[in-house]
Amino acid sequence: MAGVSRGTVSRVLNGGHYVSSAALAAINRAIFETGYVVNRNARNLVTQRAGSVAFVLSEPQEKLFEDPNFSVLLRSSTQALAEQDLQLVMMNAARPDERDRVLRYVRSGHVDGILLVSTHGGDPIMNQLERSAVPVVACGKPLGHESAIPYVAADDREGARQMVRHLVARGCRRIATITGPLDTPGGLERLEGYCDVVGRRANKRRIANGDYTRRGGEVAMNDLLERNPNLDAVFVASDLMAAGALAVLRRAGRRVPEDVAVGGFDDSRVAASSDPPLTTMRQPLDRVAAEMVRLLLDLIDGKDVGSVVLPTELVTRDSA
């Protein structure tokens, strides 16, 4: 229709180099008038690329429901990929059959790479992915695979330190902590950071394990209160658990922050709307997503990439 060959049109579609301005104009007009759009299947068939990236959620279903972090990560990733004209293909990989499906899918070249979210240490998918030579970037340290799988993470350990130091600076002396699951990087590193400040031989009684759910936070807080009736602060490894802890403290008649100061982690939505509003560590999840996409693209291009650790930021509200 523009009176030129397919080859010339293709050149215009792919940057417009080595095309005369006359041809360029004619082609663009034809494209506009016909509403032409390239057929991705045809293009990807010949270029051997997929034009999409899998967002693999390796986590039991319930978590996704409750944890607002996932949603933020998902949205930010979708957006960062869209800017590169890549599509995000969502995949669950919690159950073994789902994992198989994901592996089959990615191995057959249906995606150019993988954003791997929320892996527990020992998650079999990491081994399998490592063997399959597909570009992968993890969100958070992939425990046990730190050197093989590049990752983007918030500085959990330093963030925890900062929060506990903040509690110390407030005058708190009997500081407890509610951890995340200890097979997750966040669970582990935030506990490490806590120990860094309160001392290596931290009082075991002041450590309770949670599971990143609100109810888990309640259970852990009850536990903590029972074992340490005189505690004056608690560092909670996620805002959602902190919200649960807040409810327990209120029921126990402890004022926050006067009797017990509470510090959270994430700066998720719940932090601002809890009662009292939570002092917490902000994780830059939008930047995490953007960096993950950047690393993945480099990886796809065959470049060597390192991991990225992003700083966290103390957000002071009323709870501490």
Partner DNA sequence: TTGAAAGCGCTAACAA
Partner DNA sequence: TTGTTAGCGCTTTCAA
Give contact residues for its own copies (rule: CB under 8 A).
35, 37-42, 44-45, 50, 52, 55, 61, 64-66, 68, 70-72, 74-75, 78-79, 82, 87-92, 98, 101, 104-105, 107-110, 214-215, 218, 244, 247, 251, 268-269, 272-273, 275
For residues 91 and 55, is the Cβ–Cβ distance under 8 A? Answer: yes
Q: How far is the CB of 273 from DNA (least distance, A)?
A: 48
Q: How far is the CB of 265 from DNA (least distance, A)?
A: 46
Q: What mask, x for binding DNA by CB under 7 A, covers residues 11 to 40?
A: x-xx---xxx-xx------------xxxx-
Stretch that binds DNA, among 41-49, 167-175, 198-206, 241-249 (CB under 7 A): 41-49
Burial class (CB in 10 A: 0-12, 13-18, 19+), 273: exposed
55 binds, among DNA, its own copies, none (CB under 5 to 8 A by kind): its own copies
The single-letter DSSP state of residue 205 is G
Amino acid, res. 38: V
For residue 115, CA distances in Å to 51, 54, 87, 253 come to 14, 6, 12, 44
Q: How far is the CB of 22 from DNA (least distance, A)?
A: 6
Burial class (CB in 10 A: 0-12, 13-18, 19+), 63: middle
Q: How far is the CB of 39 from DNA (least distance, A)?
A: 3
Q: How far is Cα 247 from Cα 135, in angstroms, rounded to an integer?
A: 43
Single residue of 1, 30, 35, 48 touching DNA by CB under 7 A? 48
